[in-house]
Amino acid sequence: MSLQTQAEIGLLLILAAALSAAIGLDREERAPAGLRTHMLVGIGACLFTVLSIHAFPGGDPARVAAQIVSGIGFLGAGTIMQRKGDVHHLTTAASIWATAAVGMAVGAGIWFLAIFATLLMWVVLRLIRRMEPYKVRKPTDKPDL
């Protein structure tokens, strides 16, 4: 792989880190998996995707992508906690999963879609939460963390 290609991939990794940070900032104040976790997930997913495309010519990048998805599912499952019948941090697990998808999109060179998805995730995590007080709740419902 040429040095120029590696430098371009380095820029993709920086973009993946920045987009992942935007997602992780919301989780930082509310959950056990925050800014650094989301950044590492995005960077790792980006790097694995780039490697599957460039480092193994003739290989099947879809196989690596499938392993990223299942590995991130395992990581997300580790963030979900159950206490006294209540489930906590499900949104964080979903944000980790979605952050991996952003990293994979950047790694595949689909950066515009990655930016758009990050903005959409930010809307879901930040703006939709502001609407939750207006949601009709059962007396036993608790807000999702």
CA distances from 52 to 8, 46, 103, 128, 140 (A): 16, 10, 13, 35, 47
What is the reported pLDDT for 99? 93
Question: What integer best gives the mean pLDDT of the chain?
Answer: 85
Per-residue pLDDT at 14 exceeds 70: yes
Q: Taking residues 32-56, what's their average pLDDT?
A: 89
Q: pTM of this prediction?
A: 0.80
Q: At 113, is the pLDDT very low, low, confident or very high (cuts 50, 70, 90)? A: very high
* pLDDT higher than threshold 90 for residue 133: no
Strand spans (E) along the chain: 81-83, 86-88
Closest CA to 6 of 38, 43, 50, 40: 50
Mean pLDDT of 100-106: 95
Which residue carries 């949601």 as its tokens?
Answer: 135
Q: Is the pLDDT of residue 138 over 70?
A: no
What does the pLDDT average to over 16-21?
Answer: 93
Confidence of residue 20 (pLDDT cuts 50, 70, 90): very high
For the cut 90, the answer to whether the pLDDT of residue 104 exceeds it is yes
Q: Measure Cα distances from 84 to 30, 77, 88, 145 in Å.
A: 19, 18, 11, 15
